[in-house]
Amino acid sequence: MIADERLIRQVDALPYPLLFATISGAHLYGFPSPDSDFDLRGVHVLPLKDVIGMHISHETVEKSGIHDGLEIDLVTHDAKKFFGLMLKKNGYVLEQPLSPLIVRTMPEHEELKSIAPACITRFHAYHYFGFAETQWKLFQKASPPHVKPLLYVYRVLLTGIHLMRTGEVEANLTRLNAAAGLPYIPDLIAQKTAGPEKGNWKSADPDFHVREYERLRAELQTAFENSRLPEAPAGAAALNDLLVRIRMKTE
């Protein structure tokens, strides 16, 4: 559990009970800069009376700004909306309940984490392909280039490869690289964590990373083709049962 009272105050100020609130973004990935904001993500539970009518409001709650000296970006979804997202091929969504950086939790959070693996399919590879391509374009677009999107490229591709091979969601780049053994990752992380969030990238061989990007994309493609993960998620019934129970607790 994260004990930073500044973060706890922000999630406790939300108007609905939370199934969980965790930290995502650079802090989860293992390369926050000194000025990185805190990306808080979570699931809130709307009361039953608010979801049985024709119009459902506050399915998503967003709050961002500087609070107690921290730049915080807070986004939570109602449980029904979030559970639906878990059944789509979106790795970013699955990373949120499984984040070890927990700010708030309730007992059902553990149950949700146990259901998450049943929501993983081999087609989650598409999420990581797309995310990596977006970050690669951002990296190439900036002049001079920034180290942040390059780190995101490697984090995303290694997460996808690891997921396809093991069925496990791992978002921390240092832990991913313990298996991948890419010798340039520690230096990139050091550049990011020692400098500003949008710090410039320092390298004498930019073409090297073009080759590495293409190589790791090909490795993810091979991992996808050889993956034994299922074609479709199997967690819908368990998520439905959990949703009914946590919704009833709000009455």
pLDDT tens-digit map of 140-179: 998 888 999 999 999 999 999 999 999 999 999 999 999 9
Instruction: Give the C-alpha separation, 172 to 248, whole Å.
Output: 35
Confidence band, pLDDT 50/70/90 cuts, at residue 204: low
pLDDT reported for residue 199: 79
* Cis amide leading into 144 (omega within 30): yes
Q: Can you give the pTM of this predicted structure?
A: 0.95
pLDDT at residue 55 tops 90? no
**Percentage of residues in the chain with pLDDT exceeding 70?**
99
Provide the terminal-to-terminal Cα distance of the chain, rounded to the nearest Å. 28
**Are the beta carbons of 101 and 22 closer than 8 angstroms?**
yes
- Break the chain into its structural domains and give their ranges: 5-119+233-248, 124-226
5-119+233-248 folds as: Beta Polymerase; domain 2 (3.30.460)
Q: What pLDDT, in 10s, does the model give residues 215-237?
A: 999 999 999 999 999 999 999 99
pLDDT score for 250: 76
Structure letter (DSSP) for residue 200: B
Q: Which residues contact 17 (CB under 8 A, 6 or more apart)?
A: 44, 45, 106, 250
Query: pLDDT tens digits, residue range 21-45?
Result: 999 999 999 999 999 999 999 999 9
Q: Taking every pair of C-alpha atoms in the chain, what is the biggest distance, in angstroms?
A: 61
Residue 251 has pLDDT above 80, yes or no: no
Average pLDDT of the residues of the chain: 94
Please identify which residue in the block is written with the tokens 């320092």: 202
- pLDDT at residue 149 in the model: 94
Residue 195 has pLDDT above 90, yes or no: no
